[in-house]
Structure 1
Amino acid sequence: MAAVVELICYPVKGCAGTSMSDALLTPAGLAYDRSFMVISEDGVYRTQRRHPRLALIQPTVSADGTRLTLDAADSADAPGRYGTVGVDVTTSLPRRDVDLFGATFQGIDQGDDVAVWLSEFLGTPSRLVRVPPEHDRVTDGLTSGRSGYADSSAVHLLSRASLALLNRRIAERGAPPLPVNRFRPNIVVDSRPGAGHEGGDGDWAAMPNAEDRARRLTIGEAELGYAKLAVRCAVTLVEQEAGTRQGPEPLRTLASYRRAASGGVVFGAKFSVLRPGKLSVGDEVAVQEWGEAEL
């Protein structure tokens, strides 16, 4: 009764997402998702928390993963100034240490041309690294898994029903609704057209925040296992089309009804990959096992 309505990959951590009709789900998430990361010169990760202009960079990865293109959206202060930079992706150069939330991983620097471009666009010295082929990061949660440079688990899933409820509550405060891209999900689900909203688990996608309770689900050829609720941060305050922080929504409203027992404001759920496979918009999303929400 539920189906995939959007698939979004974020090749460069913190940069804009790419919507797809079909995608390969690997053990570390959608193919090439968060496989690149912008870092400071001393290797510390950059995200929209401190550099919201990252949202204005649109990455494109070639089908074979050997070519990355970064296209900068026009900004009000410099329309057409930055243009595009291309990167011939390398995995053979020496590795360097990179810092992600205080943990040390390895990255492969992608060269000076893209570093100069990023530094100019972000207004601070920056470089670009790629996850090495031998990268084997184990993520935490109820179901452990693998991921690239994602904040935590490989897959972030969110339902349109959850967003609709949030936007109704935001409207009650006199604020405008927010688009789904504020939350940067990989998979967005909704009820199939014509599905009856009887309120049972058979039509779970019609129930706001039902993804909180999904412990194992199948989509297309793939299977996902629940890891944890998605803790929300200041990235949700960034207007993705403008690359600027707009606050205080949605964190103000989420804090009124979505505080987790373990702490933090949560919205959506993170999943680990149990079985890789092809995903497509329109695929049925079937929950095979339910649990209790961690709220």
Structure 2
Amino acid sequence: MKEISEIYIYPVKSCRGIKVNSWKVNEYGFKYDRFWMVVDDQYSFLTQREYPNLALVIPTIQENDDDGGELILENPKNEQKLILPLLPNKEGYAKCLVKIHDDVTMAFDCGEESSKWISDYLGAKVKIVFKSTEESRLIGTNLPPKDELLKQPETAFADVFPFLILSEESLSDLNKRLTTSVTCRNFRPNIVIKGCEKPYEEDRWKKIMISDHLFYVVTKCPRCVMTTINPETGKKEGLEPLKTLQSYRRVDPGLKYRGCFGMNAIHNKPGITLNIGDQVKVIATGEHIREV
């Protein structure tokens, strides 16, 4: 029996994730997941690829009953925490256009205090922005047939897709090939599943039911240098596990030079909640070829 074994959200893109037992899903994916992002002075996104020590920025979410609350950020160089509202009054923030890979989307600048806090930590002039809900960032590739979707899916500041799924069985198989084991945190999944009959079974999933909620598994996830950054130290430590993935996981004809690990997914509707222990049922399988 397949079931969810771990759930993670990443409020600030490329910063440390939060492990939770249960979490709500909205139109963008998990609520607050990658709803904030660090950008340079040209408003282009920054990640652990440029600043590995972003892995050590720790977010905490404190929600209030009225759906308000605070996002609290901590870093190892500053005893002063940065506190940002979960639902800011947008009239107090400047609009900006931010770039994520080839996408340009609207956001709001979190202001000078947040900029100084993160700039002092990274040693560079950077800013923190949050997602504008006034403009949709639609997903345009690797989608199921339009007549199956209730609406065109969108995401906040994720690279492309709102969910990344890993299986414990695939991670175990990878670790058998490595001298030093890695954890799922090297791959920054949202949903970890256990109970697969074999490693990489998820490569062929097309549709899954989590509890009674439909998810489309849309493409394999190509991996990058971020997998080599130790999430505990915030430092790049050699070439693994990326080197090993490149040696045996070039398994997508659309990504023939990239090692793949994990599957990207989209949800069919918002307003649901996922929980550890939710059963996962595969209802359709097939081949995946990444559209780029």
TM-score strictly above 0.5: yes
Q: 1:13 to 1:65 in 2, by over 3 A?
A: farther
Q: 1:159 to 1:266 in 2, by over 3 A?
A: same
Q: Tell me the residue number matched to 2:279.
A: 284
**Per-residue deviation at 1:102?**
3.2
Stretches of structure 1 lacking an aligned partner (at least 5 in a row): 192-204
* Aligned counterparts of 2:286 and 2:68: Cα–Cα separation in 1: 38
SS at match of 1:235: helix
> Aligned AA for 1:138?
L
> Aligned AA for 1:86?
I
Stretches of structure 2 lacking an aligned partner (at least 5 in a row): 145-151
Q: Which aligned pairs between 1:153-192 and structure 2 lie closer than 5 A?
A: 153-170=161-178, 175-191=179-195
Q: Tell me the residue number matched to 2:149.
A: none
Structure 2 residue 132 is matched with structure 1 residue 141: no
> Aligned AA for 1:108?
F
Structure 2 residue 239 is matched with structure 1 residue 231: no
* Aligned counterparts of 1:18 and 1:220: Cα–Cα separation in 2: 22
SS at match of 1:108: strand
SS at match of 2:239: coil
Structure 2 residue 263 is matched with structure 1 residue 255: no
> Aligned AA for 1:126?
V
SS at match of 1:226: strand
Structure 2 residue 267 is matched with structure 1 residue 273: yes
> Aligned AA for 1:279?
L
Q: Tell me the residue number matched to 1:15.
A: 15
Provide TM-score, normalisation by structure 1.
Answer: 0.88
**Per-residue deviation at 1:62?**
2.8
Q: Are the counterparts in 2 of residues 28 and 273 from structure 1 also a CA contact under 8 Å?
A: no
Q: Tell me the residue number matched to 2:203.
A: 212
Q: Show CA shifts across 1:138-177 (max 9, x none).
A: 122133621100011110000000000001111xxxx211
Q: Are the counterparts in 2 of residues 190 and 206 from structure 1 also a CA contact under 8 Å?
A: no
Q: Which aligned pairs between 1:60-139 and structure 2 lie closer than 5 A?
A: 60-63=60-63, 64-72=67-75, 74=76, 81-89=78-86, 90=88, 91-92=90-91, 93-139=93-139
**CA root-mean-square deviation:** 1.6
Q: Show CA shifts across 1:82-117 (max 9, x none).
A: 442112352333311111113211111111111101
**Per-residue deviation at 1:294?**
4.4
SS at match of 1:275: coil
Q: Tell me the residue number matched to 1:198.
A: none
* Aligned counterparts of 1:273 and 1:135: Cα–Cα separation in 2: 19
Q: Are the counterparts in 1 of residues 218 and 288 from structure 2 also a CA contact under 8 Å?
A: no
> Aligned AA for 1:88?
P
Identity of matched residues, % = 31
Q: Tell me the residue number matched to 1:196.
A: none
* Aligned counterparts of 1:164 and 1:262: Cα–Cα separation in 2: 26
SS at match of 2:208: strand
> Aligned AA for 1:284?
Q
> Aligned AA for 2:74?
D
* Aligned counterparts of 1:22 and 1:138: Cα–Cα separation in 2: 26
Provide TM-score, normalisation by structure 2.
Answer: 0.89
Q: 1:65 to 1:255 in 2, by over 3 A?
A: farther
**Per-residue deviation at 1:244?**
0.6
Q: Are the counterparts in 2 of residues 39 and 127 from structure 1 also a CA contact under 8 Å?
A: yes
**Per-residue deviation at 1:221?**
4.4
* Aligned counterparts of 1:16 and 1:220: Cα–Cα separation in 2: 27
The alignment of Structure 1 onto Structure 2 pairs a total of residues equal to 272
Q: Are the counterparts in 1 of residues 68 and 85 from structure 2 also a CA contact under 8 Å?
A: no
Q: 1:65 to 1:254 in 2, by over 3 A?
A: farther
* Aligned counterparts of 1:231 and 1:255: Cα–Cα separation in 2: 10
Q: Are the counterparts in 2 of residues 5 and 189 from structure 1 also a CA contact under 8 Å?
A: yes
SS at match of 2:243: helix
